[in-house]
Amino acid sequence: MREFLTICLGRAGHEVEAVGGGAEAMARISAERFDLVITDLTMPQVGGMDVLRHVMRQEAPPPVLMITAFATAETAIEALKLGAYDYLNKPFKVEEIQVVVGRALERSRLAHENRRLRDELRGVGTLDHMVGRSLAMQRVFELVRKVAPTRTNVLIRGESGTGKELVARALHNLSDRSTRPFVAVNCGAIPENLMESELFGHVKGSFTGATSGREGVFTAASGGTLFLDEIGELSLAMQVKLLRVLQERRVRPVGGDREVEVDVRVVAATNRDLEAAIAAGEFRNDLYFRLDVVQVVLPPLRHRAEDIPLLVERFFERITREFGRPLRGIGPDAMDWFLGHDYPGNVRELENLVERAVALETGDILTAQHLPAQRGRSRAAENAEFADGKVDLDQAVADLERRLIGEALRRTGGVRKEAARLLHISFRSLRYRLQKLGIEVGRGDDEA
Ligand SMILES: Nc1ncnc2c1ncn2[C@@H]1O[C@H](COP(=O)(O)OP(=O)(O)OP(=O)(O)O)[C@@H](O)[C@H]1O
Ligand SMILES: [Mg+2]
């Protein structure tokens, strides 16, 4: 069946890639973009429904066409409910599948084009799997696009959950190394005594327990990108060894007597203050300079409030699709809640909050009902409460100001002139307040 489809769709002018099973399909779908997925429903091990669910978890998923010989009304409906494009019973005619495939591709092309236009109109920037409207993020995207095709080492910095790993993947995906492996290592999660073998590999018998040889991540990432996450956690001894490898581009496996040449691009990330670590003698200056050829700094989410509505919408879309929850939209109280929150855990926290609210929502639009009670800054602003008999007036006023400005920007799609009008203040005054509160807005094309 697979060969038959490959041949007949190939003849119709489509570029077809066939894989041997559900697991392989899922791996390919995570790594690359496809315009259409055709899968059998009943397959050994990983079935068609699993493939379908996997596709639906992707950002902007391609249409999925299910094929089966054991069609029951129930599975068909379940697949369609989960977002399958259509369903074909075996046996089918060549013309039949060609018509359905043609239609699915056309629909996916239109959906894509629609989204692109909508994004463009709203000033939404994208980078691989990332989105952002704030000036700060647009700058990050621009920088990443510029350095991605080079093999320069890049150091990514930012608080937890700001998207460091996404940037690392974007650097890989947008380079000519993208067909080679992307290998990520969490330097903070590997015990000190195993780190050297993890990075450089070891030969059989090189230490107790080394019953066979093992490849290190440097060789596993050969030709591709090695992502050293939480680089700040690396011990001083390992820092010396890593620096040598970066300088000489050769690794020696533990217990080995020969060095092998490696061609990898190294991208490192940290949420630690490396300068302070250097001052404290915990991080080597020379390694820092070697890694930090280009630095990408991800701003915390609380400094780019105008990204919040966009991210909420994107996650809402993906999560409702993934859960198969047909919610009609996001209620204003929920959006207010999201705008008023501080996000110490940044984008990851926002994503988790959307997921939780969607999962617990019983109505047909998303409300703030299941979002945690907002304490601290924003709550204080709303009620201006005298907690413990005191209130921090400046803080409360600043919070209220931030909230209302955020809301005005949301309502006007980030256009500051219109937001100023809603707030009954001048454009200059709004600009001043945005600066004071550290809120960055859009692309500044409404400046004139
Ligand atoms: N700009 C963005 N657009 C879309 N999704 C984002 C964006 N930034 C972060 N995310 C999402 O937020 C989550 C956290 O991102 P990521 O894992 O890259 O953060 P991190 O900086 O590596 O965090 P940590 O320091 O905790 O490892 C992921 O689910 C990611 O998909
Ligand atoms: Mg990370």
**Ligand 1 atom at minimal distance to the Cα of residue 168:** 18
Mean pLDDT of the chain: 88
303-437 shares the fold of 2-120: no
Residue-level pLDDT at 381: 47
Q: Which of 30, 162, 301, 319 to probe ligand 1 with, by most ligand atoms within 8 A of CB?
A: 162
- pLDDT tens, 228-282? 999 999 999 999 999 999 999 999 999 988 999 999 999 999 999 999 999 999 9
**Ligand positioned closest to the Cα atom of 168:** 1
How close is the Cα of 166 to the center of ligand 1, in Å?
A: 6
Pocket test for ligand 1, best of 164, 227, 348 (most atoms within 8 A of CB): 348
What CATH number does the domain located at 303-437 have? 1.10.8.60
Name the fold adopted by 2-120.
Answer: Rossmann fold (3.40.50)
Burial environment of residue 433 by CB neighbours within 10 A (0 to 12, 13 to 18, 19 or more) = middle
Domain boundaries of the chain, sorted by first residue? 2-120, 128-299, 303-437
Report yes or no: 318 and 284 within 8 Å, Cβ to Cβ: no
| Cα separation, 392 vs 386, whole angstroms | 9
Q: Kindly state the tokens that stand for 260.
A: 């092998």
d(CA 166, CA 128): 8
Ligand 1 centroid, distance to 263 Cα (angstroms): 27
Q: Which residue ranges have their beta carbon within 6 Å of ligand 1?
A: 130-132, 158, 160-166, 271, 347-348, 351
- Can you say whether the dihedral through the CA atoms of 34, 40, 41, 47 is positive or negative? negative
In this structure, which residue's CA is closest to atom 13 in ligand 1?
A: 348
Residue with tokens 């195993």: 194
Decide if pLDDT at 356 tops 90: yes
CATH architecture of the region 128-299: 3-Layer(aba) Sandwich (3.40)
pLDDT at 282: 94
pLDDT tens per residue across span 131-146: 999 999 999 999 999 9
Nearest CA to ligand 1 atom 9: 163
State pTM to two decimals.
0.75
CA dihedral 339, 342, 344, 347 (to 10 degrees): 10
So what's the pLDDT on residue 112?
A: 85
Residue nearest to atom 12 of ligand 1 (CA): 348
Ligand 1 probe mutation, 347, 351, 440, most atoms within 8 A of CB: 347
Question: Per-residue pLDDT for 384 more than 80?
Answer: no
Residue 386, pLDDT > 50, answer yes
For the sheet with 37-40, list strands across it.
Answer: 37-40, 64-68, 86-89
Q: Is the pLDDT of residue 383 over 60?
A: no
Q: Which atom of ligand 1 is nearest to the CA of 167?
A: 18
Find tokens 């100023």 and name the residue.
420
pLDDT of residue 444: 46
Min mean pLDDT across 15-29, 59-73, 180-194 is at 59-73
CA distances from residue 146 to 128, 154, 156, 244, 433 in whole angstroms, order as listed: 13, 12, 15, 27, 32
Q: Whose CA is nearest to atom 15 of ligand 1?
A: 163
